[in-house]
Amino acid sequence: MKKTAVLALGGNAIIKAGEKGEISQQFANVRESLTGIVRLIAQGYKLAITHGNGPQVGNLLRQQEAGEKEGIPMLPLGVLNAATEGTMGYMIEQSLQNMLHKEGIERQVITIISQVAVDKDDPSMKNPTKFVGSTYYSESEAHKLKEELGWSLKEDSGKGYRRVVPSPYPIRIIPAQRIKQLVELGDIVIAVGGGGIPIYIDDEGCFEGADAVIDKDFASMLLALNIEAELFVILTGVEKVVLNYGKPDQKNIDRMNIAEARKYYEEGQFPAGSMGPKILAAIDFLEKGGQEVLITSIEKIVEAFNGKTGTRIVK
């Protein structure tokens, strides 16, 4: 076997911009996204796969809102995270298993619904800032939702008000040891989807759900550390990380170290809503013992693994 790697897929790889998210579209997108990953598996890499769930959990939230008007009780966000881990894990697992079967590759694919512990006193729990859902509300609607449902809402880019929730830092992946064992055996494990199901551990050592969303890049980084992966791969919408994005002097980055990555981040090169969390997760991974981070697009994953493209971040 070659290196062990964690591959972090973006949720937009499964529901693309402008799509309604019909299940046939999602399955087609999953199969397209997995083509390069199958080639890596054929080369002998040990892999764990994580995924985002932004569009998917956003759709579930809209369904919850519609159902609430009909008297159907709304489910908390943690339960919706669990639901997307199941549905998206099913799509990825089945599609990947079928593709491996057609290639004659005998590797098992397993989805693990993953609880991820956070600190119940994390500052973000009292200061929610992460936008969830795709619905925009007027100021009066936002006030009503706050009064009736206890939601926190904030104005978003002049488009209206959106719900915001806490985004605490992950501190422990509950099934991490079992995931590590399975990956070492050669199984392909799908885990911590959408950042995992946020929980906290009470004074008696029991698990309790938290109404929050864990950033999937940080959860994926923690998983990579927990299973001792040599390589943490963040798959996003661009082939390489760039400086001065969208400007005439835009510049691709082939390689940078921790100091350079932090410098560019502090200069504002990587916005919080896009590349920023990915760069911070990369820095965390390397500072906590990881060896290498690769950022590239899903379409270029094989070329990037072979050193022909992508951005590598090292110590």
Q: Catalytic residues, which ones?
A: 11-12, 130, 216, 278
Is 180:227 a contact under the CB 8 Å cutoff?
A: yes
